[in-house]
Amino acid sequence: MANMPEVNAVFGAAPEIAFPSDEAPKGLKAVEIVEGDGPMVRRGDTVTVNYHGVVWGKNTPFDSSFARHQPASFGIGVGQVIRGWDQTVPGHNVGSRLVVSIPPEYGYGSQGMPAAGIGGGDTLVFVIDIISTR
């Protein structure tokens, strides 16, 4: 997909992100870099993922379960996480690696999340490895 970051296509490997330009694509975008062959994630499932989140154009993550070596589990499609996740993770299979570009209206909104270094106008980029779903 045009203007999406390039990410290493190795499920489970620490994400390496290369940005194609200073400007993020418009709207919510998701690209499946690795297609998994496990069960499909459905809205209302509890999903377990490893993820790595950066502000568009930055290299230092504001949050990374890869860095903590501790996957995260939560309900998906039910408002427990930001809308960008709820709208892009369901429909992908366990074993998939996604890269998702999330504009503010699908992330933390115009207030951002200053404690994490996220400004109100920042586009977020997540690399998401889907480990399991139930």
How much is the average pLDDT of 8-20? 97
How much is the average pLDDT of 21-40? 96
Number of other residues whose CB lies within 10 A of the CB of residue 114: 10
> Are the C-beta atoms of residues 106 and 79 closer than 8 Å to each other?
no
Q: Which residue type does 120 have?
A: G
Options 3.10.50.40, 3.40.228.10, 3.40.50.1000, 3.40.50.300; CATH of 28-133:
3.10.50.40
Q: Quick check: 115 pLDDT over 90? A: yes
Domain ranges of the chain: 28-133
How much is the average pLDDT of 38-50? 98
DSSP state of 93: B
> Are the C-beta atoms of residues 112 and 124 closer than 8 Å to each other?
no
What is the pLDDT at residue 1?
64
Task: Summarize pLDDT for 47-92 with one digit per residue, the tens.
Answer: 999 999 999 999 999 999 999 999 999 999 999 999 999 999 999 9
Q: What whole-number distance in Å separates Cα of residue 116 and Cα of residue 51?
A: 15
What is the pLDDT at residue 2?
73
CB-based contacts of 83: which residues, under 8 Å, 6+ apart? 105, 106, 107
What is the pLDDT at residue 40?
98
Nearest to 133 by CA among 76, 43, 48: 48
How much is the average pLDDT of 116-133? 97
The partner residues of 55 in beta bridges, in order of sequence, read 124
pTM, 2 dp = 0.97
Q: What whole-number distance in Å separates Cα of residue 78 and Cα of residue 89?
A: 12
Rounded to the nearest integer, the mean pLDDT of the chain is 97
